[in-house]
Protein backbone atom coordinates (compact mmCIF):
# COMPACT_ATOMS: atom_id res chain seq x y z
CA UNK A 1 0.00 0.00 0.00
CA UNK A 2 1.37 3.43 -1.00
CA UNK A 3 1.10 6.05 1.74
CA UNK A 4 0.25 9.39 0.14
CA UNK A 5 0.12 12.54 2.27
CA UNK A 6 -2.22 15.31 1.08
CA UNK A 7 -1.76 18.69 2.76
CA UNK A 8 -4.22 21.59 2.87
CA UNK A 9 -5.36 24.03 5.54
CA UNK A 10 -8.98 22.88 5.34
CA UNK A 11 -10.67 19.89 3.71
CA UNK A 12 -14.17 21.29 3.29
CA UNK A 13 -13.67 23.41 0.16
CA UNK A 14 -15.13 21.84 -2.99
CA UNK A 15 -11.90 22.00 -5.00
CA UNK A 16 -9.88 20.48 -2.14
CA UNK A 17 -12.40 17.65 -1.89
CA UNK A 18 -12.22 16.92 -5.63
CA UNK A 19 -8.44 16.56 -5.58
CA UNK A 20 -8.47 14.49 -2.39
CA UNK A 21 -11.11 12.14 -3.82
CA UNK A 22 -9.04 11.66 -6.98
CA UNK A 23 -6.04 10.62 -4.88
CA UNK A 24 -8.08 8.26 -2.71
CA UNK A 25 -9.52 6.50 -5.76
CA UNK A 26 -6.13 5.58 -7.21
CA UNK A 27 -5.22 1.92 -6.99
CA UNK A 28 -3.04 1.00 -4.04
CA UNK A 29 -3.16 4.39 -2.30
CA UNK A 30 -3.65 4.88 1.42
CA UNK A 31 -4.53 8.56 1.73
CA UNK A 32 -3.24 10.41 4.79
CA UNK A 33 -4.10 14.04 5.46
CA UNK A 34 -2.46 16.96 7.23
CA UNK A 35 -4.89 19.78 7.96
CA UNK A 36 -5.57 22.61 10.37
CA UNK A 37 -9.03 21.18 11.01
CA UNK A 38 -10.25 17.58 10.71
CA UNK A 39 -12.15 16.69 7.53
CA UNK A 40 -15.90 16.32 7.93
CA UNK A 41 -18.73 14.71 6.01
CA UNK A 42 -17.94 12.76 2.86
CA UNK A 43 -14.26 13.69 2.96
CA UNK A 44 -13.75 11.66 6.15
CA UNK A 45 -14.14 8.44 4.15
CA UNK A 46 -11.22 9.21 1.84
CA UNK A 47 -8.57 9.46 4.55
CA UNK A 48 -7.19 6.46 6.40
CA UNK A 49 -5.74 8.85 8.98
CA UNK A 50 -5.14 12.56 9.51
CA UNK A 51 -2.85 14.76 11.56
CA UNK A 52 -3.85 18.23 12.72
CA UNK A 53 -1.35 21.10 12.90
CA UNK A 54 -1.68 24.75 13.84
CA UNK A 55 -0.19 26.07 10.59
CA UNK A 56 0.11 24.11 7.34
CA UNK A 57 2.55 26.73 5.99
CA UNK A 58 5.10 25.80 8.66
CA UNK A 59 7.54 23.18 7.29
CA UNK A 60 8.53 22.02 10.76
CA UNK A 61 4.93 21.29 11.71
CA UNK A 62 4.32 19.41 8.46
CA UNK A 63 7.47 17.33 8.90
CA UNK A 64 6.53 16.48 12.50
CA UNK A 65 2.99 15.50 11.43
CA UNK A 66 4.29 13.40 8.53
CA UNK A 67 6.71 11.67 10.92
CA UNK A 68 3.80 10.72 13.19
CA UNK A 69 1.78 9.39 10.26
CA UNK A 70 4.77 7.43 8.97
CA UNK A 71 5.28 5.84 12.39
CA UNK A 72 1.66 4.63 12.28
CA UNK A 73 1.42 3.54 8.65
CA UNK A 74 4.91 3.01 7.25
CA UNK A 75 7.10 4.69 4.65
CA UNK A 76 5.70 7.76 2.89
CA UNK A 77 5.39 7.42 -0.89
CA UNK A 78 4.40 10.97 -1.91
CA UNK A 79 3.57 14.31 -0.27
CA UNK A 80 1.36 16.61 -2.37
CA UNK A 81 -0.91 19.64 -2.17
CA UNK A 82 -2.71 22.03 -4.51
CA UNK A 83 -2.35 25.48 -2.92
CA UNK A 84 0.20 28.00 -4.15
CA UNK A 85 1.33 29.16 -0.71
CA UNK A 86 1.97 25.59 0.49
CA UNK A 87 4.47 24.64 -2.21
CA UNK A 88 7.57 25.76 -0.29
CA UNK A 89 6.60 23.81 2.83
CA UNK A 90 5.73 20.71 0.79
CA UNK A 91 9.12 20.87 -0.93
CA UNK A 92 10.76 20.91 2.50
CA UNK A 93 8.76 17.82 3.50
CA UNK A 94 9.85 15.99 0.36
CA UNK A 95 13.49 16.98 0.92
CA UNK A 96 13.35 15.79 4.54
CA UNK A 97 11.97 12.35 3.64
CA UNK A 98 13.78 11.98 0.31
CA UNK A 99 10.52 11.89 -1.69
CA UNK A 100 10.07 12.44 -5.42
CA UNK A 101 8.60 15.75 -6.51
CA UNK A 102 9.64 19.39 -6.86
CA UNK A 103 12.65 20.29 -4.74
CA UNK A 104 13.00 23.49 -2.69
CA UNK A 105 15.20 24.98 -5.44
CA UNK A 106 12.61 24.25 -8.13
CA UNK A 107 9.80 25.53 -5.96
CA UNK A 108 11.69 28.77 -5.33
CA UNK A 109 11.88 29.49 -9.08
CA UNK A 110 8.09 29.27 -9.30
CA UNK A 111 7.18 30.85 -5.97
CA UNK A 112 9.60 33.80 -5.92
CA UNK A 113 8.14 36.02 -8.64
CA UNK A 114 11.26 38.16 -8.90
CA UNK A 115 13.49 35.09 -9.34
CA UNK A 116 10.95 33.63 -11.78
CA UNK A 117 10.90 36.69 -14.00
CA UNK A 118 14.68 37.09 -13.89
CA UNK A 119 15.13 33.44 -14.86
CA UNK A 120 12.68 33.74 -17.75
CA UNK A 121 14.10 37.06 -18.97
CA UNK A 122 17.63 35.61 -19.03
CA UNK A 123 16.26 32.81 -21.22
CA UNK A 124 14.97 35.40 -23.67
CA UNK A 125 11.30 35.01 -22.75
CA UNK A 126 9.06 38.10 -22.57
CA UNK A 127 8.07 39.20 -19.07
CA UNK A 128 6.91 42.42 -17.47
CA UNK A 129 9.54 44.97 -16.47
CA UNK A 130 10.10 44.39 -12.76
CA UNK A 131 12.21 45.28 -9.74
CA UNK A 132 12.43 44.02 -6.18
CA UNK A 133 11.79 46.99 -3.89
CA UNK A 134 13.57 47.37 -0.56
CA UNK A 135 12.35 50.89 0.15
CA UNK A 136 9.69 53.42 -0.80
CA UNK A 137 12.34 55.31 -2.79
CA UNK A 138 12.92 52.19 -4.90
CA UNK A 139 9.22 52.23 -5.76
CA UNK A 140 9.22 55.91 -6.67
CA UNK A 141 12.27 55.37 -8.91
CA UNK A 142 10.55 52.45 -10.66
CA UNK A 143 7.43 54.57 -11.26
CA UNK A 144 9.48 57.44 -12.70
CA UNK A 145 11.36 55.09 -15.03
CA UNK A 146 8.43 53.00 -16.29
CA UNK A 147 5.44 55.27 -15.72
CA UNK A 148 1.99 54.42 -14.41
CA UNK A 149 0.16 52.19 -13.92
CA UNK A 150 2.41 49.82 -11.99
CA UNK A 151 1.72 46.79 -9.82
CA UNK A 152 3.06 46.10 -6.31
CA UNK A 153 2.83 42.56 -4.95
CA UNK A 154 4.55 40.15 -2.54
CA UNK A 155 7.35 38.22 -4.27
CA UNK A 156 5.76 34.93 -3.19
CA UNK A 157 2.09 35.92 -3.29
CA UNK A 158 -0.78 33.69 -4.37
CA UNK A 159 -3.19 34.86 -7.04
CA UNK A 160 -4.05 38.57 -6.73
CA UNK A 161 -3.94 38.71 -2.94
CA UNK A 162 -2.12 41.73 -1.47
CA UNK A 163 -1.66 43.04 -5.01
CA UNK A 164 -1.97 46.79 -5.62
CA UNK A 165 -2.50 48.57 -8.92
CA UNK A 166 -1.18 52.11 -8.73
CA UNK A 167 -2.41 54.54 -11.41
CA UNK A 168 -0.80 57.69 -10.03
CA UNK A 169 1.58 58.90 -7.28
CA UNK A 170 -1.23 59.18 -4.72
CA UNK A 171 -2.21 55.54 -5.15
CA UNK A 172 1.45 54.54 -5.05
CA UNK A 173 1.97 56.27 -1.71
CA UNK A 174 -1.14 54.58 -0.31
CA UNK A 175 0.12 51.17 -1.47
CA UNK A 176 3.53 51.87 0.06
CA UNK A 177 1.93 52.67 3.41
CA UNK A 178 0.19 49.27 3.27
CA UNK A 179 3.08 47.17 1.94
CA UNK A 180 6.00 48.99 3.65
CA UNK A 181 8.86 47.58 1.53
CA UNK A 182 12.15 47.00 3.32
CA UNK A 183 15.24 44.81 3.06
CA UNK A 184 13.59 42.32 5.38
CA UNK A 185 10.25 42.50 3.57
CA UNK A 186 10.83 43.22 -0.10
CA UNK A 187 7.97 43.99 -2.48
CA UNK A 188 7.92 43.25 -6.19
CA UNK A 189 7.11 46.11 -8.59
CA UNK A 190 6.00 45.34 -12.14
CA UNK A 191 4.83 47.26 -15.14
CA UNK A 192 1.08 46.85 -15.59
CA UNK A 193 0.61 44.51 -18.52
CA UNK A 194 -2.27 45.65 -20.70
CA UNK A 195 -4.16 43.74 -23.35
CA UNK A 196 -6.03 40.45 -23.50
CA UNK A 197 -5.30 38.07 -20.62
CA UNK A 198 -5.06 34.30 -20.94
CA UNK A 199 -3.90 31.26 -19.03
CA UNK A 200 -1.75 28.34 -20.19
CA UNK A 201 -1.90 24.99 -18.41
CA UNK A 202 0.30 21.93 -18.75
CA UNK A 203 0.60 18.43 -17.37
CA UNK A 204 4.28 17.55 -17.17
CA UNK A 205 5.72 14.08 -16.58
CA UNK A 206 9.36 14.02 -15.50
CA UNK A 207 10.08 17.33 -17.17
CA UNK A 208 8.21 16.68 -20.43
CA UNK A 209 4.96 18.63 -21.08
CA UNK A 210 2.40 16.04 -22.20
CA UNK A 211 -0.77 18.15 -22.20
CA UNK A 212 -1.52 21.79 -22.97
CA UNK A 213 -4.64 23.92 -22.47
CA UNK A 214 -5.32 27.62 -23.08
CA UNK A 215 -8.02 29.77 -21.47
CA UNK A 216 -9.15 33.39 -21.94
CA UNK A 217 -10.32 35.71 -19.15
CA UNK A 218 -13.07 38.33 -19.63
CA UNK A 219 -11.97 40.61 -17.90
CA UNK A 220 -8.59 39.90 -16.30
CA UNK A 221 -8.23 38.64 -12.70
CA UNK A 222 -6.81 41.88 -11.28
CA UNK A 223 -9.74 43.89 -12.61
CA UNK A 224 -12.08 41.27 -11.15
CA UNK A 225 -10.47 41.57 -7.73
CA UNK A 226 -10.56 45.39 -7.88
CA UNK A 227 -14.25 45.42 -8.91
CA UNK A 228 -16.11 42.82 -6.80
CA UNK A 229 -19.42 43.59 -8.52
CA UNK A 230 -18.22 42.40 -11.94
CA UNK A 231 -19.48 39.08 -13.24
CA UNK A 232 -16.78 37.49 -15.32
CA UNK A 233 -16.01 34.59 -17.62
CA UNK A 234 -13.22 32.09 -18.22
CA UNK A 235 -13.48 30.68 -21.75
CA UNK A 236 -11.66 27.64 -23.15
CA UNK A 237 -11.72 27.82 -26.97
CA UNK A 238 -12.22 24.47 -28.63
CA UNK A 239 -9.38 24.75 -31.16
CA UNK A 240 -5.99 25.79 -29.76
CA UNK A 241 -3.93 24.03 -32.43
CA UNK A 242 -3.80 26.67 -35.17
CA UNK A 243 -1.34 29.45 -36.05
CA UNK A 244 -3.14 31.88 -33.72
CA UNK A 245 -1.78 29.96 -30.73
CA UNK A 246 1.66 28.90 -31.98
CA UNK A 247 3.61 31.71 -30.29
CA UNK A 248 1.75 31.28 -27.00
CA UNK A 249 2.33 27.52 -26.97
CA UNK A 250 6.03 27.95 -27.71
CA UNK A 251 6.36 30.61 -25.01
CA UNK A 252 4.51 28.56 -22.40
CA UNK A 253 6.39 25.34 -23.08
CA UNK A 254 9.73 27.14 -23.01
CA UNK A 255 8.85 28.83 -19.70
CA UNK A 256 7.83 25.60 -17.98
CA UNK A 257 10.95 23.84 -19.21
CA UNK A 258 13.27 26.72 -18.26
CA UNK A 259 11.93 26.87 -14.71
CA UNK A 260 12.60 23.16 -14.29
CA UNK A 261 9.12 21.74 -13.83
CA UNK A 262 9.28 18.02 -13.13
CA UNK A 263 5.92 16.28 -12.71
CA UNK A 264 2.49 17.81 -12.13
CA UNK A 265 0.24 20.60 -13.37
CA UNK A 266 1.34 24.15 -14.12
CA UNK A 267 -0.74 27.31 -14.49
CA UNK A 268 0.66 30.33 -16.35
CA UNK A 269 -1.06 33.68 -16.88
CA UNK A 270 0.00 35.58 -19.99
CA UNK A 271 -0.98 38.64 -22.00
CA UNK A 272 -1.34 39.62 -25.61
CA UNK A 273 -0.51 43.33 -25.70
CA UNK A 274 -2.50 45.71 -27.94
CA UNK A 275 0.36 45.63 -30.46
CA UNK A 276 0.29 41.82 -30.61
CA UNK A 277 3.39 41.16 -28.48
CA UNK A 278 3.08 38.45 -25.83
CA UNK A 279 4.26 38.62 -22.23
CA UNK A 280 4.26 36.21 -19.32
CA UNK A 281 2.54 37.37 -16.16
CA UNK A 282 3.57 34.56 -13.81
CA UNK A 283 3.57 30.77 -13.50
CA UNK A 284 2.52 28.48 -10.67
CA UNK A 285 3.54 24.84 -10.23
CA UNK A 286 0.12 23.72 -9.07
CA UNK A 287 -3.34 23.18 -10.57
CA UNK A 288 -5.24 26.33 -11.58
CA UNK A 289 -8.15 27.63 -9.54
CA UNK A 290 -11.38 29.24 -10.72
CA UNK A 291 -12.90 25.93 -11.91
CA UNK A 292 -10.31 25.64 -14.71
CA UNK A 293 -9.50 22.01 -13.89
CA UNK A 294 -13.20 21.18 -14.21
CA UNK A 295 -13.41 23.21 -17.42
CA UNK A 296 -10.52 21.26 -18.95
CA UNK A 297 -12.35 18.06 -18.06
CA UNK A 298 -15.56 19.23 -19.72
CA UNK A 299 -13.62 20.33 -22.82
CA UNK A 300 -11.86 16.97 -23.22
CA UNK A 301 -14.55 14.66 -21.83
CA UNK A 302 -12.21 13.30 -19.18
CA UNK A 303 -11.54 13.53 -15.45
CA UNK A 304 -8.75 16.08 -15.06
CA UNK A 305 -8.66 15.64 -11.28
CA UNK A 306 -7.72 12.01 -11.85
CA UNK A 307 -5.20 13.15 -14.50
CA UNK A 308 -3.51 15.33 -11.85
CA UNK A 309 -3.52 12.47 -9.34
CA UNK A 310 -2.07 10.04 -11.90
CA UNK A 311 0.68 12.53 -12.68
CA UNK A 312 1.80 13.37 -9.15
CA UNK A 313 1.41 9.85 -7.71
CA UNK A 314 2.07 7.45 -10.59
CA UNK A 315 4.13 9.78 -12.82
CA UNK A 316 1.76 8.65 -15.56
CA UNK A 317 -0.25 10.34 -18.31
CA UNK A 318 -3.39 8.65 -19.66
CA UNK A 319 -3.92 11.02 -22.61
CA UNK A 320 -3.87 12.44 -25.16
CA UNK A 321 -7.51 13.46 -25.20
CA UNK A 322 -9.39 15.13 -28.01
CA UNK A 323 -10.55 18.67 -27.23
CA UNK A 324 -14.17 18.12 -28.27
CA UNK A 325 -15.84 21.24 -26.90
CA UNK A 326 -15.51 24.90 -26.12
CA UNK A 327 -16.33 25.56 -22.47
CA UNK A 328 -16.92 28.64 -20.35
CA UNK A 329 -17.47 29.29 -16.67
CA UNK A 330 -19.56 32.33 -15.71
CA UNK A 331 -18.92 33.56 -12.16
CA UNK A 332 -21.97 35.11 -10.54
CA UNK A 333 -21.49 38.16 -8.28
CA UNK A 334 -23.06 41.55 -7.78
CA UNK A 335 -22.83 45.03 -6.32
CA UNK A 336 -23.44 45.49 -2.62
CA UNK A 337 -22.72 43.46 0.48
CA UNK A 338 -24.46 41.50 3.18
CA UNK A 339 -26.73 38.54 2.51
CA UNK A 340 -28.03 37.43 -0.86
CA UNK A 341 -31.68 38.51 -1.09
CA UNK A 342 -32.45 37.59 -4.70
CA UNK A 343 -31.01 36.22 -7.94
CA UNK A 344 -32.79 37.89 -10.85
CA UNK A 345 -32.94 36.74 -14.45
CA UNK A 346 -32.51 33.00 -13.92
CA UNK A 347 -35.69 32.02 -15.77
CA UNK A 348 -34.84 34.28 -18.69
CA UNK A 349 -31.30 32.89 -18.87
CA UNK A 350 -32.61 29.33 -18.67
CA UNK A 351 -34.86 29.92 -21.65
CA UNK A 352 -32.08 31.56 -23.66
CA UNK A 353 -29.07 29.31 -23.02
CA UNK A 354 -30.13 26.62 -20.54
CA UNK A 355 -29.45 23.76 -22.97
CA UNK A 356 -25.72 24.61 -22.87
CA UNK A 357 -25.38 24.44 -19.06
CA UNK A 358 -23.56 21.28 -17.94
CA UNK A 359 -22.84 22.23 -14.33
CA UNK A 360 -23.84 25.02 -11.97
CA UNK A 361 -23.89 26.23 -8.40
CA UNK A 362 -26.43 29.01 -8.04
CA UNK A 363 -26.10 31.76 -5.42
CA UNK A 364 -28.04 30.73 -2.31
CA UNK A 365 -30.58 33.25 -1.06
CA UNK A 366 -29.83 34.02 2.59
CA UNK A 367 -26.12 33.26 2.38
CA UNK A 368 -23.56 35.96 3.13
CA UNK A 369 -21.77 37.45 0.13
CA UNK A 370 -18.57 35.55 -0.59
CA UNK A 371 -15.26 37.39 -0.46
CA UNK A 372 -13.83 35.07 -3.13
CA UNK A 373 -13.18 36.41 -6.63
CA UNK A 374 -15.16 33.37 -7.86
CA UNK A 375 -18.29 34.95 -6.43
CA UNK A 376 -21.39 33.33 -5.00
CA UNK A 377 -22.07 30.83 -7.76
CA UNK A 378 -21.21 29.77 -11.26
CA UNK A 379 -22.55 28.14 -14.40
CA UNK A 380 -20.47 26.08 -16.83
CA UNK A 381 -21.49 26.12 -20.49
CA UNK A 382 -20.39 23.69 -23.21
CA UNK A 383 -20.85 23.39 -26.99
CA UNK A 384 -18.67 22.26 -29.92
CA UNK A 385 -18.63 25.82 -31.34
CA UNK A 386 -16.54 28.44 -29.54
CA UNK A 387 -18.57 31.41 -30.78
CA UNK A 388 -21.78 29.80 -29.50
CA UNK A 389 -20.30 29.35 -26.02
CA UNK A 390 -18.88 32.89 -25.95
CA UNK A 391 -22.24 34.40 -26.95
CA UNK A 392 -24.10 32.31 -24.37
CA UNK A 393 -21.68 33.32 -21.62
CA UNK A 394 -22.21 36.97 -22.47
CA UNK A 395 -25.98 36.48 -22.34
CA UNK A 396 -25.73 34.80 -18.95
CA UNK A 397 -23.63 37.44 -17.20
CA UNK A 398 -25.74 40.25 -18.70
CA UNK A 399 -29.04 38.61 -17.69
CA UNK A 400 -28.47 37.17 -14.21
CA UNK A 401 -28.12 39.65 -11.34
CA UNK A 402 -27.30 38.86 -7.72
CA UNK A 403 -28.79 41.26 -5.16
CA UNK A 404 -27.65 41.74 -1.57
CA UNK A 405 -29.13 43.20 1.59
CA UNK A 406 -26.64 46.03 1.95
| Buried/exposed 222-255: b ≥16 CB within 10 Å, e otherwise | bebeeebebbbbbbbbbebeeeebeebbebbbeb
Q: Residue 92 — φ and ψ, nearest 5°? A: -65, -40
Decide if 198 contacts 214 (C-beta within 8 A): yes
Series of mean pLDDT values for 10-residue runs along the chain (406 residues): 96 91 97 95 90 97 98 98 95 97 94 91 92 90 90 69 84 90 88 91 96 94 80 97 94 96 96 94 93 98 98 97 98 94 96 96 95 93 98 96 92
Euclidean distance between CA atoms 85 and 56, whole angstroms: 10
Q: pTM higher than 0.75 for the full model? A: yes
pLDDT score recorded for residue 325: 98
Judged by DSSP in three states, 369 sits in coil
Euclidean distance between CA atoms 369 and 376, whole angstroms: 7
Amino acid sequence: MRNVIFCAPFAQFPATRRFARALAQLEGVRLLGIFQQPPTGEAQRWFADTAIVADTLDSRQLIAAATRLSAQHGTIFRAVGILENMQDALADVRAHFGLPGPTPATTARFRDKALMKTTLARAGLPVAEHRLLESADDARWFARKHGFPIILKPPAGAGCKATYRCDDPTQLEAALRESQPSKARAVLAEEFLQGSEYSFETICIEGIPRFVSISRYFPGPLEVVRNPHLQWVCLLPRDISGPQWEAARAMGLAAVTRLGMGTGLTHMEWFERPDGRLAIGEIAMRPPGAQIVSLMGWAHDTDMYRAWARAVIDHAFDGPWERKYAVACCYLRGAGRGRIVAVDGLDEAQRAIGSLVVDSKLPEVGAMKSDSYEGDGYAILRHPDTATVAAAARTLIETVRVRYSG
